[in-house]
Structure 1
Amino acid sequence: MAAAQVSRARVARRIATAAAYGGGGLGLLGVGLIGLLVTESRLAVRAVGLLEGDPPPADGVYGAAFADPESDQPPLVLAFLGDSTAAGLGVTAGEETPGALLATGLASVAERRVRLVNVARSGAQSVELAGQVELALPHRPELAVIIIGANDVTKHTPAALAVRQLGETVRALRASGCQVVVGTCPDLGTIKPVQPPLRWVARRLSRQLAAAQTIAVVEQGGRTVSLGSLLGPEFAARPEMFAADRYHPSAQGYATAAMALLPSLCAALDLWPEESGPRIEAEQVLPMAVAAAAAAGRSGTEVAAAERLGDLGRRWAQVKLRLRLGLPDSSESIPEAGSGSANSHPGTGDVRAT
C-alpha cells in the first residue's frame, strides 16, 4: 500500500474515532498553519469571485415520460441535502441541477416518476445537516443524497465534529427507512484559482475529510461515492465545465458528477441485480479505514458495508469502481408543472460558500 494511502487511512480512522466518542478538537488546520495561509486564502477568494443569486428552483416530479401511464404507483421521493453543489449553484435552469439530473436518471431506470425534494443550502457546513434532515423527513424520502464537506474545510471546522454530524444525519435518515448515498468532500486542490502552497494543503485536508466521512457513513448504514478530483482533469481541458466563478461546476460539470453517482443510487434502491447492472471496473473487500483511504484517492469509487462478512461488515467495506451511466436527454428533466418549489437558498456570512 502506498505511504500516502497508509497515512490517509490512519488519519481517517483517528478522526472517525474522535467523532464517535464526541471529540471535536481535531481541527482540519493547525493554528500556526492557518496563520501562514491567511494571505493565500484571501488571494484565492479574490481570484475565484462570487456567484450572485440563488440556485434555480428544482423541486418537483420528474420522469413522467418513463413511467407507465396506467400505473397508480406514487412517485419515488429523492431528497437532496448539503451545500451549494447539492443545491446546483452555477446553473441557470432547474433541470440542470444535480438533483434534477439524478431524479430523471432514476426515473429512467425505475420506470417510475421521481419527486425531488432539495433542502440543500449554499454555504452549508455539516452542522447544518440536522436542520436539513428535519425539513426532508416529513416528505418520507426513500433515498437521500448528501454532498457536504467543502465548507467544513474552508471554514476550518474541526474534522471530528464535521464527521460526527454527518454520521448522525445518516443514522437519522436510515432509522426512517431511507437509503443514503453521500458524495464525499471534493478535492479543493483541483480548483484552478487556488495556488500552491494552499492548493497542496487543500488537497490533503479534503482527502482526509473524505476518508473520515466514508468511515462514518458506512458504519451508519449508508454508502459513499468519492467525488475527489472527478472533475479536475476534464475541467482543465474544457473550461466550459466551470461556472462563471471557475469554482462551481457548470451544467456540463454537474452532468459529469451525476453520471458517477447514478449507478450507486440505483444500487442502493436495488433497481437492478448486480449482475445485470453497469459493469464494475474493479471490486475489493478491504478493512474499513483502508477502503476509505483508497476511495479518497480515486474519484468515482463507491464504498459500502461488506454485507457478506456478517458481523464483520462494520469493520470491512466493499469497494467498487463503477462505470458511469449515461443520463437521459435533458428535455426529459423538466418537472411536471406545479409539482414543486425551490428549497435551495444561499447561506449567510460565507463569502466563499459552496
Structure 2
Amino acid sequence: MADDERTLLPRHPLARAAVAGGGGAAAAGVGLLGVAVAEARIARRVIGVTDDPVPDATGWYGGSRPRPALRIALLGDSSAAGYGVSRVQETPGAYLAAGVARWADRRVHLRAFCRVGARSSELAGQVERALERRHTPDVAVILIGANDVTHAVPVATSVRLIARAVHTLREAGVEVVVGTCPDLGTIRPIPPPLKQMVRLWSRRLAARQTVVTVREGGRSVSLGSILGPEFDAAPAVFFGPDRFHPSAKGYASLAAVLIPSVLSAVGAGPEDETHPAAQRGEGVLSVEQAAADAARNPGTEVGGSPHSPAGGGGRWATLRRRRRHAPEEGTPTEQEEQPGPEDAGDTASTTEPTVEERIVAHLDDATSRLDQIVVEELGPGV
C-alpha cells in the first residue's frame, strides 16, 4: 500500500480484529479495509493541498496595555498555525493572543513554533526552541494530534511524546494548555466507514492526551468538534475551502474555547470560576473519568486537583466547563503597532431559520467582535 494511501487509513483495531477473526469476519474485514483504502484516496483528492504560506502570528498584541508582558508559546500543527487563511488577523494565534491581551489587560507577546503537518514527534524540537529564548514563556498552548491519526501513529506513541513535552515545559516553570485532538469524524470529505474509524481513533487519542497532560501538571481543553454540533451542522461556515481545516470563523471559535483556560493558567481568569460549579456539571473526578467526559463534550477543561473525594486514592482531576468569552462591544480602531522583536517594548426574516442560520445568528456577533479585538490589539502593517 502506498504511503499516501495509509495516511487516511488508521490501522483500526476493529478492522484488524475482523481480518484476524477468520471466515466471514475475515472476509468482512478485508472488504472494510478495501472500502477504507478507496475512501482515503477519494478524501485526499477532495481535500487537496495548498502551497500557500501560512501567516506567522508571532508578535506583540495589546501594545498600549500594562506591562509586564505575558508571553505565549504556540506549538503544534496546522490547527495552531492557521492553515488555509491568508491574513495574520485570521490565525488562531492572533485570535488567542488578542483575546488574552484584552481580558487580562496585559501586553502579550506570542511566538508561533507550530508547523503545518506536524505530528507529536515534532513537539520535542518545538519545545526546545520555545525554551531556548532568553524569555521563557509564561504559558505554552499545544494543538496536536490530527496528523497522528491520519498517519496511523499508535496512540501509545502519541501520548508518550506529548507527555514528555508537557513534562519538559512544566519543569521549566511554564504553564501548559493542551487543546486535544479534534474529532475527525466531523470532516465531510471522509465518508463512512472511514469516518467512524477516525472518529473512534481521534476520541481515544484525545482522552489519553488529557490523562497524561494532567498527570504531568498541565491542563487540557477538549476540542472535539470544537463547537460540537455547530461545526457538523454548518460546515460551510466553520470549515475552510478544503473542508478539512477550519475557516477564519472556525479558528475564532477555536480560540474562544482556549482563551478562558489560558487566562486561568496565568492567574487572570474570572474570580467566579476559581472553584468548580456543580450547576455547570463541574467537579472533581478521577483523571480517567474526567478525560472520558471531556472527549464527549468539546470545550471542557481538565486540570489537576489538590482535592480528593471521600475515600481518596488515585489521581484526581478538576473538570470545568468554562464560559467562552463573548468579546465586548467595540469599534475597530487603527492597528496599534508593528509586531517586532521579542524584546522591543518589554522594559458579535420572517421565515423559520434553518439550523445553520440559527447557529450563524448565535455566533456571528461574537466572532465578528473577536475579529475587531484582533484588529485593535495588533500592530499596523500586519
Q: What is the TM-score of this pair, normalised by structure 2?
A: 0.75
Are residues 279 and 251 of structure 1, via their aligned partners in 2, closer, same or farther at CA, if it must alter by over 3 Å? Answer: farther
Where do 1:97-176 residues align within 5 Å?
A: 97-139=91-133, 140-176=136-172
Q: Distance in 1 between matches of 2:214 and 2:172?
A: 16
How far 1:190 moved relative to its partner?
Answer: 0.3
How far 1:92 moved relative to its partner?
Answer: 1.0
Letter of the structure 2 residue corresponding to residue 317 of structure 1: A
How far 1:52 moved relative to its partner?
Answer: 2.8
Contact 1:60–1:336 at 8 Å: present in 2 too? no
How far 1:272 moved relative to its partner?
Answer: 3.4
Q: Distance in 2 between matches of 1:333 and 1:210?
A: 40
Q: Distance in 2 between matches of 1:149 and 1:277?
A: 29
Letter of the structure 1 residue corresponding to residue 338 of structure 2: A
Are residues 204 and 93 of structure 1, via their aligned partners in 2, closer, same or farther at CA, if it must alter by over 3 Å? Answer: same
How far 1:74 moved relative to its partner?
Answer: 3.4
How far 1:175 moved relative to its partner?
Answer: 0.7
Q: Distance in 1 between matches of 2:41 and 2:304?
A: 40
Give the corresponding residue for 2:187: 191
Q: Distance in 1 between matches of 2:141 and 2:213?
A: 12
Give the corresponding residue for 2:41: 42
How far 1:243 moved relative to its partner?
Answer: 1.2
- For structure 2, which runs of at least 5 residues remain unmatched after alignment? 1-9, 20-28, 343-382
Q: Distance in 1 between matches of 2:263 and 2:333?
A: 18
User: In percent, how many aligned pairs have the same letter?
Assistant: 47
Where do 1:81-92 residues align within 5 Å?
A: 81-92=75-86
Structure with greater Cα Rg: 2
Q: Distance in 2 between matches of 1:333 and 1:169?
A: 38
Give the corresponding residue for 2:267: 270
Contact 2:273–2:322 at 8 Å: present in 1 too? no
2:12 matches 1:29: yes
Q: Distance in 2 between matches of 1:295 and 1:238?
A: 22
Are residues 264 and 313 of structure 1, via their aligned partners in 2, closer, same or farther at CA, if it must alter by over 3 Å? Answer: farther
Give the corresponding residue for 2:326: 326
2:93 matches 1:94: no
Give the corresponding residue for 1:246: 243
Question: How many pairs were matched up?
Answer: 310
What's the Cα RMSD here? 2.6
Are residues 333 and 268 of structure 1, via their aligned partners in 2, closer, same or farther at CA, if it must alter by over 3 Å? Answer: farther
For 1:18-38, what per-residue CA distance to the aligned partner results, in whole angstroms no more than 9, with x for missing partners? Answer: xxxxxxxxx863455794422
Q: What is the TM-score of this pair, normalised by structure 1?
A: 0.81
Where do 1:172-183 residues align within 5 Å?
A: 172-183=168-179
Are residues 53 and 183 of structure 1, via their aligned partners in 2, closer, same or farther at CA, if it must alter by over 3 Å? Answer: same
How far 1:50 moved relative to its partner?
Answer: 2.0
Are residues 276 and 35 of structure 1, via their aligned partners in 2, closer, same or farther at CA, if it must alter by over 3 Å? Answer: closer
Partner-residue secondary structure (3-state), 1:308: coil
